[in-house]
Homo-oligomer: A and B are copies of this chain.
Amino acid sequence: MAYTIGLDYGTNSVRCLIVDVATGAEPGTAVYEYETGQAGIIIDPADHNLARQNPADYIKGVKVTVNEAISLAKEADKTFDPNEVIGIGIDTTGSTPIPVNKDGTPLSMLEEFKDNPNAHAWLWKDHTGHAEAAEITALASDKHPEYLAKCGGIYSSEWFFSKILHCLRTDPEVFKAARSWVECCDYIPALLTGATAPEMIKRSRCAAGHKAMFNNQWAGLPAKKFLAKLHPELGALRDRLYEKTYTVQTRAGKLTQKWAGDLGLPAGIPVAVGAFDAHLGAVGSGIAPGKLVKIIGTSTCDMLVSESSRDLADIPGICGIVDGSILPGFFGLEAGQSAVGDIFNWFVNHIQPGGLEAGSHETLTEKATNLKPGQSGLLALDWNNGNRTVLVDQRLTGLLIGQTLHTRPEEIYRALIEATAFGALTIINRFEQYGVEVAEVVNCGGIAEKNPLLMQIYADVTGREMKISRSAQSCALGAAITGAVVAGKQAGGYDDFADAQKAMCGIKQTTYKPVAANHRVYRQLYLLYKQLHDAFGTNQWSGKLANVMKELLNIKDGTNA
């Protein structure tokens, strides 16, 4: 028997998953909820844009979850032996950069910075750098449009340099104390392999390519001169970042004696270079050319791969096209929706808090299931958290149209689900318009697992069968697969991803097929969705309403100032 471990660092918790490399069976798993802040996130009530995390939670999380998962595996299977674990893989959220000192210690773990949110991990959904993102976009558009060509033409406030530049501008003391900035997905492998000194870390191609404008074919990170134009100190920082990046078939190093002892695992087993959760979630869902993997949670990631040898066009509005970011040898294409589950949670928790029974997801879903497509007369735009793909615009907001005095909560709830489905279809259409075929759709993530209504609506809206990844923990499974590949065939793992995926991945029996009558109605509704989408989200259409959401935000910003 041979096992690998996948560590999956999410937004609120970290999960450890032990996987049988021969079958994909999962004998043990454990979750640790981060302790700091609200549901693991350090927030600022005065600034909705701020979202940080405590790196100490990440470290504690490894110990707690690996030990617990091993105990559970032993309980479940008396023959389970942690010495048969042959490799470890890691995925995390991102871009979640951490300022570190010359030893690679997060600044937040130093006494002087322990209470400073800027010295902590800057969680992916931190948007404090939105002004800096606009600045980077403007400069790159002007001087180096090629930097943005593979990331949708717009640099996001969620990404690496927006956050670092914002820190430099607003908290120079933290910036100055930082020897380097390290993505969470680079920090954990470095930690486990004893290679945290910034210059020793094998940086993730996935993180660098999708979030830091790193291009493997040219000069790596953006030019020093470019960064220096944004701020001289940012230019200087480039020398303290990295020149090379690595894909997930690379070993970050070997598990140290110390960590092996803490975790009850064999010392010296290989730890794979890290990657983002969505990317390894795609791996765990069996991603291959033509197979779209949708990871549906609070937001979504929509992942595709395309042979690196192909001459792939830039696709406007697709957040990232990075060689090797998902699978070595393939371009990884990343799209996504800024909010999906978050919109439903917002509605249930804040707008329609009709008590546990009347206003729960379950009750609303049950009532919404009894509605027919089009029956409510409602239509919504799914932009309550902006639009990641294809508009790449944080400053878009939600819209609901068609309500009457008879409109009921379940109708709005269903309209919100439908809106996210229309958003999903818009992404699929964009891929196909640019020659990237979507022949199959595999879904994973909590909502895909738990909400048959949503899956059926997605099938009916897109006119495509919706499949569900067999593992309930596709991201952690993907991480475990990287562990199996870096271990290699000789050690009981695999030499390539296709073999590993074939053995370790699968699809659930239940799938959701489109109902023709529903699809017909949704085709009509989608035309209206697209009208609103283009009217409020683009300048191309009529341009006459594209100002509304932004001016409302401008007025809002004015009143709050």
Contacts and interface: CB of A to CB of B under 8 A. Distances in A.
Interface of A: 48, 339, 342-343, 346, 350-355, 358-359, 372-379, 384-385, 397-409, 412, 521, 524-525, 528, 531-532, 535-536, 541-542, 544-545, 547-549, 551-553, 555-556, 558-560
A452 to B, nearest CB: 21
Contact of A405 (B343, B375, B551): B343
Contacts of A541: 544
Contacts of A525: 552, 555
Nearest to A534: B544
A404 B552 CA distance: 12
- Name the residue among A342, A352, A547, A553 with the largest chain B CB count within 10 angstroms: A352
Contacts of A406: 48
B559 A379 contact: no
Contacts of A355: 355
Given A352-B351, A407-B350, A401 B549 contact: yes
A376 B545 contact: no
B556 A374 contact: yes
A70 B549 CA distance: 57
B548 A528 contact: yes
A85 to B, nearest CB: 40
A342 B405 CA distance: 7
Given A407-B351, A409-B350, A532-B548, A401 B402 contact: no
Contact of A339 (B405, B524, B544): B405
Nearest to A557: B377
A384 B372 contact: no
Contacts of A535: 535, 544-545
- Count copies of this chain in the complex: 2
A378 B552 contact: yes
Contact of A400 (B372, B403, B536): B403
Contacts of A402: 397-399, 549, 552-553
A461 to B, nearest CB: 14
A524 B559 CA distance: 12
A459 B397 CA distance: 28
27 contacts: A342-B405, A343-B405, A346-B405, A351-B407, A351-B409, A353-B358, A374-B556, A377-B397, A377-B552, A378-B552, A384-B405, A385-B404, A385-B405, A398-B404, A398-B407, A399-B399, A399-B400, A399-B401, A400-B401, A401-B549, A402-B549, A521-B558, A525-B552, A528-B551, A531-B548, A535-B544, A542-B544
Nearest to A409: B351
Nearest to A522: B555
A340 B548 CA distance: 24
Contacts of A547: 528, 531
B401 A555 contact: no
A350 B524 CA distance: 28
A127 B551 CA distance: 37
A558 B358 CA distance: 29
Given A377-B553, A378-B552, A532-B545, 6 more contacts: A354-B354, A372-B559, A384-B405, A384-B407, A398-B404, A524-B551
Contact of A542 (B405, B532, B542): B542
Nearest to A377: B556
Contacts of A346: 405, 407
Nearest to A345: B405
Contact of A373 (B354, B528, B559): B559
B375 A559 contact: yes
Contact of A552 (B372, B379, B553): B379
Nearest to A551: B528
B528 A560 contact: no
A412 B547 CA distance: 21
Given A350-B408, A405-B346, A552 B528 contact: yes
B548 A401 contact: yes
A412 B536 CA distance: 20
Contacts of A384: 403-405, 407
A379 to B, nearest CB: 6
Contact of A555 (B400, B521, B548, B552): B521
A375 to B, nearest CB: 5
Nearest to A553: B377
Contacts of A48: 406
A555 B407 contact: no
A355 B553 CA distance: 31
A422 to B, nearest CB: 13
Given A400-B399, A409-B351, A374 B521 contact: no
A547 B531 CA distance: 10
